[in-house]
Structure 1
Amino acid sequence: MEYKDYYHTLGVARTASDDEIKKAYRKLVRKYHPDVSKEADADARTKELNEAYGVLGDAEKRAAYDSLGSGQYRAGQEFHPPPEWGGGSAEDFFADLFAQFGNQRGGQRGGRHGFRMRGEDIHAVIEISLYDAYHGAQREISLGRQRNLKVTIPRGVTAGQHLRLNGQGQPGTNGAEAGDLYLEIAFQADERYRIEGRDVYEKVLIAPWAAALGGEREVVTPSGRVTVTVPPGSQAGRKLRLKGRGIPAAAAAGAAGDLYLILEISVPPANTPARRALYEQMQSEFGG
């Protein structure tokens, strides 16, 4: 029979490390897995990959395989088992090598073409609005190949948090369980807000007279409208703290963050004679 070059099957050199062999196998088995591949020979290629990794992924069987001639055989070349093997057929020799491999890390015994390996996890980033973090949301994401998935964004999530969706990663091989999907939370850019953990900083524009005289002001926040009191003589950059009005606590534990309103002075333009006269009067009164 023809010699089976398992190194050639996995696309690695004979000197490849165990880690390089594992990475090559996982990359190719994902590419040719019948559930995701469009290749006509996907099933046959998957069986070849499983067989190759079943030997090269095991130290003892790899050593036995390497002893066949340390590279003197090439793929497709007529092969004869070494005399010390006992005189069986070449087909039996390769079948024996493969059938003997047992549990591998991440895989399970499964017969000649039954090597089972859990699917790879998928990591992705999902952008949400600050409003979503306050109230929760439903989102639909695309995972490719016309596969859409509805995702529940729980109330109280924070930037950098990961949502784990069991079984939504890459499919496993030969009936093994699929990997998981990990979605990292990121907030959409919004110049109105700055977020630090669960604390939220919101810019609030006020007129010069409101800053000088103080008084009540209605402000729209991510949790709804609130009425705040601006102290007289407030300067630009002053922070008004609204305790507990930051990102809500997650369902598990913890406390809600705080909302800080950062005052910014909005100066109306002197674009009419009357307004200009008012500014000139102020200049005369306050100097400068």
Structure 2
Amino acid sequence: MEFKDYYQTLGVEPTAGEAEIKSAYRRLARKYHPDVSKEADAEDRFKAVNEAYEALRDPEKRAAYDQLRARGYRPGQEYQPQDFGGRPGQGFDFEEVFGSTGGGAGFSDFFENLFGQRARGGGPGFGGQAPRGETRARLSVPLRAVYEGSTIRVTVNGRQLDVRVPKGIRPGQAIRLAGQGSGGGNLLLEVEYAADPQFEVDGSNVIHVLQVTPWQAALGATVSVPTLGGSVELKVPAGSEAGRKLRLRGRGLPGAQPGDQIVELEITAPRPETDAQRKAYEKLAKAFASQA
């Protein structure tokens, strides 16, 4: 199978820190989101960016990937796990299960080979055969499935299973599937949230970074904002500055006390593409020359 350079996909150096990787992911995910981008290969690029971030955001996965990359593999080169007696990620002591809501949203064969099968060997942790015949695994769940309480299809050891995700389930909580584990035992899926290009999670709240133009921030505007439950209209107060946080109550994760959505403003200036737009920027520069 073909080796993938996840650092190259995100446009960062292998020495990049967590914050730089997250920033690159958010920028590229917004750029190639199928609902926004008009580029012909946007969906494929979007999937590639998601896969790269999923591999690099977790320290254990990143360490396993770096171990393989250090062997000199480069993009397009054939990767043969058996050359090294197995996957470089064999230090994992859990089975990783990745779900999708359909539409071919899975990861590549390279990713699944590196991270997606049961690790061999012992050691403590969440994995392998647990007492009383329970098989344990981690399930990466999309935020929208958590918000809606929907069914997702997952692949476990080559079998496809439909898993009902309880509305508002939290990371670390588990879903038990009777009789779906090894030897007919139960399968216990520990939930973690999948990376989302539009939202970050802070407890029961979700955070969305909203790009607004300088004039929208200065003069005020009503703009469309994505939420887990669909787009809503948000009023941006006049005189807003970059970093200002606006709250959409009850638009976070559901629960006994539903969370809110925090909208953080990011001011971006569109690139001038016509003479009229460039002249408009020149007039703006002159008008605010005294404040420069």
- Could you tell me the TM-score, scaled by structure 1's length? 0.51
Residue 270 (structure 1) aligned to one of 269, 272, 285: 272
Which amino acid counterpart does residue 203 of structure 1 have in structure 2? V
Match of 1:165 in 2: 177
Match of 1:125 in 2: 138
SS in 2 for 1:163: strand
Match of 2:218 in 1: 212
Larger Rg: 1
* Cα distance between partner residues in 2 of 1:220 and 1:140: 24
Residue 167 (structure 2) aligned to one of 155, 164, 175: 155
* Cα distance between partner residues in 2 of 1:229 and 1:207: 14
Q: After the TM superposition, list the runs of 4 or more consecutive aligned residues in structure 1 that deviate by more than 6 angstroms.
A: none
* Cα distance between partner residues in 2 of 1:148 and 1:229: 44
SS in 2 for 1:237: coil
* Cα distance between partner residues in 1 of 2:150 and 2:218: 41
* Cα distance between partner residues in 1 of 2:233 and 2:160: 42
Which amino acid counterpart does residue 240 of structure 1 have in structure 2? L
Match of 2:151 in 1: 138
SS in 2 for 1:126: strand
Match of 2:258 in 1: 256
* Cα distance between partner residues in 2 of 1:197 and 1:255: 11
* Cα distance between partner residues in 1 of 2:283 and 2:156: 64
Mapping for residues 1-288 of structure 1, pairs under 5 Å: 119-144=132-157, 147-171=159-183, 179-249=185-255, 254-287=256-289, 288=292
* Cα distance between partner residues in 1 of 2:152 and 2:200: 23
* Cα distance between partner residues in 1 of 2:288 and 2:134: 66
Q: Kindly state the Cα deviation for residue 125 of structure 1 after the two structures are TM-superposed.
A: 1.6
8 A contact 1:159–1:197 mirrored in 2: no
8 A contact 2:145–2:152 mirrored in 1: no
SS in 2 for 1:221: coil
8 A contact 2:152–2:165 mirrored in 1: yes
Show structure 1 runs of 5+ residues with no match: 1-117, 172-177
Instruction: Provide, for residues 218-253 of structure 1, a one-character-per-residue CA deviation record: whole Å limited to 9, x for no partner.
Output: 22211122111111111111111111110111xxxx
